[in-house]
Amino acid sequence: MGRRDRHHYGVLTLDEINRRISERAHALGVDIECFQSNHEGALVDKLQEGAGSIDGVVINAGALTHYGLSLKDALTDAGVPVVEVHLSNIHAREEWRRHSVLADTALAQIAGLGWRGYTAALEALAGIIGDETG
C-alpha cells in the first residue's frame, strides 16, 4: 500500500488506512483488530483463532479473492457476517478480477471506493451486527 499503482490503490500506506479504520471504529464504539498477511494460511489461522469471539469480518483478500478456496471455507466456517472490500473497482478491470470465489460468503461487496470502502464496510457491519443483537 502506498507503493502500488496509485490509480487503482491510492496513495495511503497500510498504516494510514488502519489508523483511519481504527478512528472510525472508535467513533462507532466498536472494537476491531486489523490484520494483514500475504499468506492464505495465516488468514485462515487468524479466522479460526477468532472462532466464537468475533462478531463480523471486513476482508480485502486481494488476489485470494479469485482463488482462495481455503479462505472461503474459513469465512464460511466463521459463521459471522462478512463484508468483502476492494480498493479498486474489480468489475471495471481485467476479466479475471471480476469473479470472486468469496462473494457468496459475504453479505455485501464494496469495490472502487479506495480506503473509504473499509470505513463504509465497518459502518455497515456494525449496523448489521447491532440490528442482530439489539
Per-residue pLDDT tens digits for 70-96: 999 999 999 999 999 999 999 988 888
Is 50 a domain residue? yes
Is 74 a domain residue? yes
Among 26, 66, 67, 86, the active-site one is 86
Is 78 a domain residue? yes
Among 8, 9, 66, 67, the active-site one is 9
CATH code at position 28: 3.40.50.9100
Predicted structure pTM score: 0.89
Neighbours of 87 (CB within 10 A): 23
Burial of 85 (0-12, 13-18, 19+ CB in 10 A): buried
Catalytic-residue membership of 118: no
Distance separating alpha carbons of residues 116 and 83, to the nearest angstrom: 13
Sorted by sequence, the CB contacts under 8 Å of residue 98 that are 6+ apart come out as 90, 91
Is 1 a domain residue? no
Distance separating alpha carbons of residues 9 and 98, to the nearest angstrom: 16
Per-residue pLDDT tens digits for 45-59: 999 999 999 999 999
Task: Count the domains in the chain.
Answer: 1
Catalytic-residue membership of 86: yes
